[in-house]
Chains A and B, each alone.
Chain A
Amino acid sequence: MNTNKSRRRFVQGLGAATAVGVVGIPSIALGAAKKVVVVGGGTSGATAARYLKMADPSVEVTLIEANKDYYTCYLSNEVLGGARTLDSLKHGYSGLEKEGITVVHDYVTGIDAKAKKVTVKGGSSFDYDRCIVAPGISFKYDGIEGYDESMIAKVPHAWKAGEQTTILRKQLTDMKDGGTVVIAAPPNPFRCPPGPPERVCQIAQYLKKEKPKSKVVYVDPKAKFSKYGLFVQGWKKFYGYETDNSLIEYIKSDGVEELDLAAMTVSTTTGESVKADVLNIIPAQKAGQIAFDAGLTGDGDWCPIDLGTFESTIHKDIHVIGDASIATGMPKSGYSANSQAKVCAAAVAAMLNGKEPGTPAFVNTCYSVIAEDWGISVAAVYRLAEDRSKIVSMSGGLTPMDASDEAHRRAVENAYSWLNNITSDIFAGG
């Protein structure tokens, strides 16, 4: 509100200075419209575009995204298990366009921090006053011997929802009963920490119903994973974990080191060898490619930022949000990305108007569906540390280990309701 008022004052002042001359001058000549280019229309990029426009409608917001449709990663494990369709996770950009955001479907090839210009494959370029980069993740395919990107049609990662999800689902439905599904989890840090053990649940649920002689072998290089106690409790309760009839075999603290694609066999660091009928390798991760091309990653795999504004500590006037950023203290989750994008949008709106960015506040909430009517959650409220070195959890925690059946049932309902709300918050109903 203040923004509009002060802008009006500014324009009035100009009008007075140029007296009658103001009538013929197009508003753009007054130099009032600030331009922001958002690179990437996933969870954080689309949220930032929308909340920036909400904070200051006078800003010209252009969102550049290669794909016309977006499929959320969250809840896509349910597509693998057969509980929902991929279509139920599909979103478009018409809602954002209706709110005055210019959406360009093209592939960003460069961000020139000096000239303050974004270029795209189609040849055009876009000037900006501030740029928000939300490139998501890319994969490090070189960590496993015998494995590379060319194999993902046969060995899907399904860690970006869409075609990859469909491939893995089809492999599961084609598999004979008695088959082995191998899921290989990535090392830290990676998108959606509870995602791999939830995937184990969703696939085990499918096998239990349709192919009960089969099993899931879960290979994880880490000693523990997110919501560990609650997941293991769920594995035991629903999938016979640690009994002779377990649908789940868990190889802990041991990563996949080598793949023999012809034999569909993986070998682990400790020398275990597992033959798979369906093989899901979730590779180690890093920021999306454009972050590297634009020099936003420094020497590492992710983008260093100021935690209060998400402005890059490498390039001025460029902000990095979502999974690609180093948001010390918060997990790389969909809710985190949505929450951080709002903090960034508020900061960008303030900075464009020559104001101090306000105090940030963050939330993360994350549900995992272990079985029908059995969900678990982790949630936290966050603030920025005074020295800006980290984002600090003020309260929060996990579903209690002794939560009632009814509480677990409500958690599933809440997960589905959350999906409706967060996606309409991000895509403005589109």
Chain B
Amino acid sequence: MISEATEFDPNNILTVKDLSVDFDVKGQSINILSKVNFGLKRGETVGIIGESGCGKSMTALALLRMVPSPPGKISNGEIFLNKKDIMSLSKREINRVRGREISMIFQEPMTALNPVYSIGNQLVETIQQHKPIDRASAMEEAIELLRSVQIPAPEKRISEYPYQLSGGMRQRIMIAMALVCNPQVLIADEPTTALDVTVQAQIFDLLKKIQNKNKTSIILITHDFGAVSEMADRVIVMYAGFKIEEGTLEEIRNSPIHPYTKGLLGSMLELKTDSAGFRERLPEIRGSVPDLLNRQAGCPFGPRCESATTRCLQMPPTFDLGDNRSVMCWLVENGEN
């Protein structure tokens, strides 16, 4: 039952094995990401969900070897894009992966675009970085891209600056920029968090449309289960740098196993009214995210866990339940579920 690492699955476009990231803070090494494993199939969307500081964004940056260094570094693990070993690439080679095979869009469309260059400049720059074409044809392609992300009047927008555009518009531009080379993998780090609800829906629609057209695989990083249920086929739940549960969207939504996942879902479900018509208090997970500087032994969620036993003073292994379903909790071994 206990597996050390996910087997190398030939169907996977992206395989991550035992990925660990350490940060060096005042001479002390802090484990930000601990032996994370997962795979991503072609055309599939995997949602990575967790609270801020759980390591989900760091996972995304690590995939592009963009962990800020110093103070951080990838201390362990392998990343394969198809059969290409990302960890062994030279600086030059990794630059050819970034933006071409794996692209990324970010949470803050307000700040993710350089304020002092026009939209066109930033798009053309990306196109010319990856394709040997002249400026004029790059410009045409840029306009085409803007059209494909449903930006009205792209010929006009292209010469505008980021500050002149709305948040939703900017996020579309970020997406356009990410699509320059039809990447196999698109990492979306909280792509809609900073946007209005209606705009959020539009962005998700756009992402789905692109995915259907190009068979792009998407990694959606979010703290919002709503976004995950909107987009994801599979869900990875992270806590304090660990992947604590993985399963299909249905599995996670309907039969979560890890107490943290249950808590996470519980705190997000719609408000129920009790018999007297009063709204129930929204369930919450007591305590707060552990201090990564002073990690205690045993299960990272232990101190906050309702079901913790003495068993939990030992670090639980990841129990592989087959078919990409896994949980990092002793409860599974005891068969209490």
A binds B: no
